[in-house]
Structure 1
């Protein structure tokens, strides 16, 4: 249980709006943990250091692309792509990265 930010009545933690006053609720701690479990700095550093092997793809949940990176690692193309991705991850704001990482679904999702 949590309390409404507008009228202070008790609500369920998954409530988006208060049924009493209709005030929109901030995200609870439980929902922010699910959405922000991926850190942009960790993803960026993994992409820069081990991106040629697709480790950053496994970290972000795109394991299908991770396998493609491993299969093609001998061509150095994944390393070049990972260099660009690592810089992109580090340049994105924390909110944009969290939003895009939470929206990723499936093994071939692309976080750009």
Structure 2
């Protein structure tokens, strides 16, 4: 029984191993090619999409940033000017008023 079992394992083992090897070989090649082709196609597509996306997003972001800086810049500048103007007037008046009261 032991020999038969060993022989059986050996024969079945080899057969299975070869089938597995062959299967892996065939599947491996197919998968590898599919993967390569897929990576190639997906790679190109993704790369282009990425490039295009970066281009579009880049342009959009750049413009948004520029526009934002422009708007924020103007807004901040005006706010700052206005704030300085208001604070300046207020401080000046307070000072004048203080001098008036103190004086």
Give me the TM-score of the superposition, normalised by structure 2: 0.23
Q: TM-score, normalised by structure 1?
A: 0.22
Greater RCO, 1 or 2 (C-alpha within 8 Å, sep 6+): 1
Structure index of larger Rg: 2
